[in-house]
Amino acid sequence: MGAPEGGNAVLRSAEARWLRAALIGDSRERRRIALEELPGGPPFQVTPLACGVAARQVFGEQWDRRLITTFARRLVERMAAAAGLMPREIEAYLRGMTGEVELLMIVPDELGDIIVASLLGLADQLAPDDRAVDALLVEAERQTAVMATLVELPGTDQAAVPDSDRWQRTFEPFLTSDDFVPRAHPVARPPRPFPAEEGRSTLPASQAGRYLRRLLRGEMDDELRASEVPMADLLRVARLAFTIAVRSYYLHPDPDLFETMALVSATKARRWPGIDLMKAEYLTRLVFGEKVPLDGITNRDVLPSCVFMLQTIIDAWGGDDAALCSVLADAEEGIAEQGNVLAR
């Protein structure tokens, strides 16, 4: 980070001065500002933009986006201020602030804590001197002023987070040089079409497979009600069918996160507006062998996410019934090989 021109930073807001004290580790000055100027705690205008400035400096476009996953996990593991936060929600915010704006629609209850803790962690990573901290906050205040001309900012009488001694840096970086892996595919690739030679006419044989086929084809009737299909079977078939479809056919074997998120975003736009973008993407990344934090993800997320993402894939394949039957039949065979018996 560079220092402001001339090195004479003038921070206009008490919020920015509070942030400066927190970022340089001056707890005494941070407490004084909170007591004398911000008795309710710092407001929430400059802080998000300061976090965005710092995030863009750490997570440049040249790096694989999984760098943010690693940072979020280590932040929760190592920083007292981040203890108890969801790594997935930290990742969503930081990815949102660095280009994936749809993720900013995820607004957890702990958003204020997430942003302040993330900013402190980013400062640990950047290790700025006092001049660089000033430069960051001057730029954040400049962006705040620009934002104020476009939208109504939150009132300054409402604190984002109360002042607390928990808001302290670790002064140790969270990422090493080995974590900074260049993006293998700087330009997102389109999904792959289903290979015609792979299609087969075999219809799914299990209740769950037949139910899912009709559901995804929009052919539901009274022949087989959802309540009559064992839930464990539905979960197994939907999960494995999605795994086969997305890993073997739809996405490339080494997907970029812009490519995995594109599938989830398309599902949100076309099939399920209520899908949790990050949970669904984590389920997709698991398919490709990634280790991602699973806190807060349950079968209530797994089943609909897999069904609706599978439907998005089938849509992309032009509603190809042979492709759908193939992945469902393959899933049934895989489940049988695992030693599980599906209801017929």
Cα Rg of the chain, angstroms: 24
Cα gap 150→342, rounded to integer Å:
57
Q: Of 312, 324, 318, 311, nearest to 200 (Cα)? A: 324
pLDDT at residue 197 in the model = 80
Cα gap 262→292, rounded to integer Å:
18
Scan for tokens 């018996």, then name that residue: 341
> How far from 125 is each of 27, 48, 111, 216, 260, CA to CA, in Å?
19, 17, 21, 46, 27
Bridge partners (DSSP) of residue 63 are 182
Cα gap 257→188, rounded to integer Å:
9
At 102, give phi and psi (nearest 5°): -60, -25
CB 191 within 8 A of CB 323: no
pLDDT at residue 147 in the model = 83
Cα gap 305→283, rounded to integer Å:
8
The angle subtended at Cα 126 by Cα 54 and Cα 182, nearest 5°, is 80
pLDDT at residue 157 in the model = 52
pLDDT at residue 61 in the model = 94
CB 343 within 8 A of CB 230: yes
Cα gap 111→107, rounded to integer Å:
6
Q: Is 291 exposed, middle or buried (0-12, 13-18, 19+ CB in 10 A)?
A: exposed
Scan for tokens 């407001």, then name that residue: 43
Cα gap 123→51, rounded to integer Å:
9
Q: What is the pTM of this model?
A: 0.90
Cα gap 286→293, rounded to integer Å:
10
Bridge partners (DSSP) of residue 325 are none
> For residue 84, is it left (φ>0), alpha (ψ between -120 and 50) or beta?
left
Q: Is 315 helix (H, G, I), strand (E, B) or coil?
A: helix
Low-confidence ranges of the chain (pLDDT < 70): 1-8, 152-159, 221-226
Cα gap 344→329, rounded to integer Å:
13
